[in-house]
A and B are shown apart, each in its own frame.
Chain A
Amino acid sequence: MKFIDEYQDNKLAQGLARKIAKRSIKTIRLMEFCGGHTHAILRHGIRQLVPGTVEMKSGPGCPVCVTATADLDKAIAMAQLPHVIITTFGDMVRVPGSYSSLQNAKAAGADVRVVYSIMDAVEIAKANPEKSVIFIGIGFETTAPTIAASILKARQEKMENFYVLSLNKLTPPVMKALLDSGELKLDGIVCPGHVSVIIGSHPYEFIPKGYGVACVISGFEPLDILLCIDKLVEQIEKGEPKVEIAYPRGVKPEGNRKARRLMEDVFEVGEANWRGIGIVPKSGLRIKEKYERFDADKAFSVRLKPSKEPKGCRCGDVIRGAATPLECKLFREVCTPESPVGPCMVSSEGACAAYYQYGATEDLRDS
């Protein structure tokens, strides 16, 4: 048994695609919440495999993309403080803020370091006791447990120079905000796989119950996604929306209790500012008072000019699924991965980057 090829098998995929085509009668609109799914869908050509009755929209599940410009400006301002080392995930350094980017701040002399894991940021703090090391905490329920663990480790080791700027966000509340806005009439949601490994399937229950929208949790291989779409179509055709797990090798209904306990110990739920969506109540994670000495927001004060969005950039609409990257005038013309205007073109989980990198052959006609 190998462990990837089975999930990319051509015959099984074609079979599933036929099954979906046969089952799908109503014209429906699905949203894949997660940027990882958007990339897999475009990379494997899944949009072309599903019947014309199934419309796929990309959602806000890209940690870099949903970070509000004002929050990014704050991180850039912190990078310019004396004796500070900023640590962050790679994509973040390239996102343009209102006036600069972490990358530009670095070129101008700020100490900005890319890490692959927050534990590397902890190590950097240990190796540089004379500096303050700030980790820019982005991500959803996936990265939050490790960030919580790093704060616990820093406390245990009595570190006095390690801080987190917590910009972590929560998935179900923003799904609720999108559904409440009524901007997009959705029939089903391809729910995120990795987030659900942590939170399980129960937190999505309000979606079929309250909004009549089908929810199926999917893995990231092409067959996982096709299976998920098949289950969504089945639920919608039957008119029986519910929460299903189509990724049982990764997700248990109860999620990962230990990871959630870590999160709950360190963070409390508060409002968060989402790019393109705005302030969403109960959708962010703040560091609890008992750990406030690790909270960069409390330890460092920076003065910020009002934030502004890049002119013509439709990242906000793309994040909400209200526009596809192809509908943005800047896409491919002005905004490219080399000189990105908005975060969706920067991040390896961003929808614009996925559309740019894995264009469908239909797009050949436009070029």
Chain B
Amino acid sequence: MDESILLAHGSGGKLSHELVEKKFLPFLANPALSKLDDSAIFETSGRLAFTTDGYVVNPIFFPGGDIGKLAVCGTVNDLAMNGARPLYLSLSAIIEEGFLLRELERIVQSIKKAAEEAGVSIIAGDTKVVNRGQADKLFVTTSGVGIVPPGVDISGANARVGDKVLLSGTVGDHGIAVMSQREGLRFSMTLKSDCAPLNKLVSQMLEVSPRIHCLRDPTRGGLATTLNELARQSNVGIVLEEVQIPVKEEVKAACELLGLDPIYVANEGKLVAMVDPTSADKILARMRRNHYGKDAAIIGEVTKEHPGKVVMRTKLGPSRIVDMLTGELLPRIC
């Protein structure tokens, strides 16, 4: 029989120690973590960026990733979106009683792989076990710190009129990949989630030009919601060209079938950037040389008109307002 998590794994006693020593440490070991002190001590200097995020994705395994990879990439990306170089993460896992140990191990391995790719260490951690039904299999929370290089000033409030809007690749991959696996909606497709750490892409963009004003990863709520946030935060208008927004054929097809708009579907490995128009082409060219930016495109620009609003010229030519995602994404009935 498969071994599974027992309440005793969360008791703080022998089994708790075993869980950490056998299932987490072998994969995530580093000098700070392996000491198993109450807190991790590290040296650093300069401006720090700090962020935290909780991950409750359902299902926890999906094409192209799992909750572990997502928890690392999500927090790494949140740091990178302020131009920070991510250094250290903490990781807290809330595990439902009965969760299979081999699935946990699979997830920790995936955490290790994602952290290695991003070049970050997990230096603090915690595990808790809750009664069956009190959590859905596994919830993960990660926090992260990173260093903001001198001269970098990236914020959602920094978009300027005339800036070009760059998007690093196709939209909707993650949301559709996860939806395709969801209970009751299963459809088979080859599409994978785009879940990926973007910190290296951001470093490369900054190497080419420091004139990057805003960066954000369009996760839940999709591209449309993120651009609305930026337009409001910077009090500028944004004009998009629908034809320039890259969308994979599979995503287009699934969206048509379900009655969804890909610009509202979640991404986990994409970024939008507002950059000075004189640097836009250079930055775009550099993005396209990175695997995670190979489909990058200039999708619009920042305008003085209609501050706080996003307007899109549709494929057919007319313009319409693009609002934030409202409510949930639900397939149509008829």
Contact = CB atoms under 8 A, between A and B. Distances in A.
Interface of A: 2-5, 8-10, 13-14, 34-36, 39, 42-49, 61, 63-64, 89-91, 94, 115-117, 120, 138-140, 142-143, 192, 194-195, 220-222, 336-338, 346-349, 353, 356-361, 363-364
B326 A45 contact: no
A60 B330 CA distance: 20
Contacts of B319: 45, 48, 360-361
Contacts of B316: 8, 10, 13-14, 44-46, 49, 222
Given A36-B259, A36-B334, A14 B317 contact: yes
A356 B249 contact: no
Nearest to A365: B306
Nearest to B179: A116
Contacts of B321: 358-361, 363-364
A142 B78 CA distance: 44
30 contacts: A2-B249, A4-B249, A4-B253, A5-B252, A10-B316, A35-B334, A36-B259, A42-B320, A43-B314, A43-B320, A44-B314, A44-B316, A45-B318, A45-B319, A45-B320, A48-B319, A89-B333, A91-B333, A139-B334, A142-B333, A220-B256, A338-B327, A348-B330, A348-B332, A357-B326, A360-B318, A360-B321, A361-B311, A361-B321, A364-B311
Nearest to A48: B318
Nearest to A34: B334
Given A34-B334, A44-B315, A356 B327 contact: no
Contact of B326 (A3, A220, A336, A364): A336
Given A359-B321, A364-B309, A337 B261 contact: no
Interface residues of B, number: 30
A63 B330 CA distance: 14
Most A C-beta atoms less than 10 A away, residue of B183, B321, B326, B333:
B333
B253 A3 contact: yes
Given A115-B184, A139-B333, A4 B252 contact: yes
A44 B261 CA distance: 11
Contacts of A48: 318-319
A306 to B, nearest CB: 28
B320 A338 contact: no
A305 to B, nearest CB: 28
Contacts of B318: 44-49, 360
A35 B328 CA distance: 18
Nearest to B224: A357
Contacts of A91: 330, 333
A348 B334 contact: no
Contacts of B309: 364
Question: Which 5 A-B pairs have CB atoms at the shortest separation, nearest pair first?
Answer: A45-B318, A337-B326, A48-B318, A90-B330, A359-B321
B334 A140 contact: yes
Contacts of B311: 361, 364
B315 A349 contact: no
A337 B327 contact: yes
B218 to A, nearest CB: 17
Contacts of A358: 320-321, 323
Contact of A8 (B183, B184, B315, B327): B315
